Amino acid sequence: MLTRGKLSALTGCNRETIRYYEKIGLIPAPARTASGYRSYSDEHIRRLNFILRARALGFSSDQVRELIELSDPGSDHTRAEVKTLTIESEAEERVLEWDELVLATGASPRVLPGQPEHERIRAFHVWDDVKPLKIGLMRGEIGEVAVIGAGLVGCEVAEAFASLWGADVTLIEAAPTPLPEILDSELGTVVTKHLESHDVKVVTGSPVERFEPDDEGVTIYAGGSEIRADVAVVAVGVRPRVDLAEAAGISLGPTGAIRVDENLARATLWMRLPKTGRFYPLPAM
Ligand SMILES: Cc1cc2nc3c(=O)[nH]c(=O)nc-3n(C[C@H](O)[C@H](O)[C@H](O)COP(=O)(O)OP(=O)(O)OC[C@H]3O[C@@H](n4cnc5c(N)ncnc54)[C@H](O)[C@@H]3O)c2cc1C
């Protein structure tokens, strides 16, 4: 049963405010159980999130009421009415019209807490990350590599650096076995053996705590061990790049990526904010 307290915890809206929204009719009165307790539904969660988002964008309670009517699937306004995208650059500002907007801004490599920015500590994401590594390996300037994260990218990099370039590779993973997101420990052990047969040293159960880079290389402190390398490659996953979406008021899901429906899409109404004249999507219901 979804009590008012649980609804409050799920939405971050305090109970008194929920009570107030109920009183002024912004959210419907909840059903009652046989013993008389209020029982809220998923629809209440959606409606409340919508209201909170709209309030955060600066709409008054009366305006929120209008927005609710406007975004009601039963109303005439089911298609985006405002379809304008502003592209800003130093040189110019252009306004483009669109029918459907696809946000494909990708992801950025995840950075470990306290990870220093240093040329001896690199991501493996785009060519600019990879090029100096390749040149260093080809010239023999990089001999020892620590790869942090035994996910798909980390395992591939570790094996390639050892097999292709003869580097001395240590693969460091926090979980007990490699590829923990996709393999159980039994199969993970097979991967460990495979990597070891390609001269990769696999150090598992060892979360990286700290880096100490210097001009010659980097020392990595992980699970009680100190690992020294010429360079550390950090491959601990990616974070969705959602700055643009966030700035447009598009709601995010629990992973921090854009919240989508079962078709990986959002049906969005756009409207112009009176104050700024800018266009914003109405928060998803
Ligand atoms: C080492 C490595 C190996 C991989 N191997 C595989 C593989 O074997 N198979 C596989 O399926 N996948 C693989 N992947 C994953 C795959 O590369 C990604 O899933 C894919 O690149 C994601 O594509 P994307 O278009 O969503 O994002 P991206 O390729 O990141 O493209 C997003 C683009 O949007 C641009 N952008 C961002 N913000 C803005 C903005 N505000 N305005 C305009 N432009 C913006 C960025 O500059 C970028 O060019 C690998 C990834 C890595 C790092």
pTM exceeds 0.85 for this model: no
Q: Greater confidence, 166 or 272?
A: 166
Nearest CA owner, ligand 1 atom 50? 153
Nearest CA owner, ligand 1 atom 30? 106
User: In which band, very low, low, confident or very high, does the pLDDT at 203 lie, cut at 50, 70 and 90?
Assistant: very high
Please work out whether the CB of residue 110 comes within 6 Å of at least one atom of ligand 1: no
Query: Looking at residue 95, what is its pLDDT?
Result: 67
Cα distance between residue 280 and residue 85, in whole Å: 10
Domain 4-80+265-281 has CATH 1.10.1660.10: yes
Q: What is the mean pLDDT of the chain?
A: 86
Domain boundaries, the chain: 4-80+265-281, 108-237
Examine the pLDDT at 68 and tell me if it is beyond 70.
yes
Say what percent of the chain tops pLDDT 90.
61
User: In which band, very low, low, confident or very high, does the pLDDT at 16 lie, cut at 50, 70 and 90?
Assistant: very high
pLDDT-wise least confident of 18-32, 84-98, 255-269: 84-98
How many angstroms separate the Cα of 147 from the Cα of each of 125, 174, 177?
A: 13, 12, 15
122 bridge partner residues: 233
**CATH code for the domain defined by 108-237:** 3.50.50.60
Cα distance between residue 282 and residue 254, in whole Å: 19
**Two domains, one topology: 4-80+265-281 and 108-237:** no
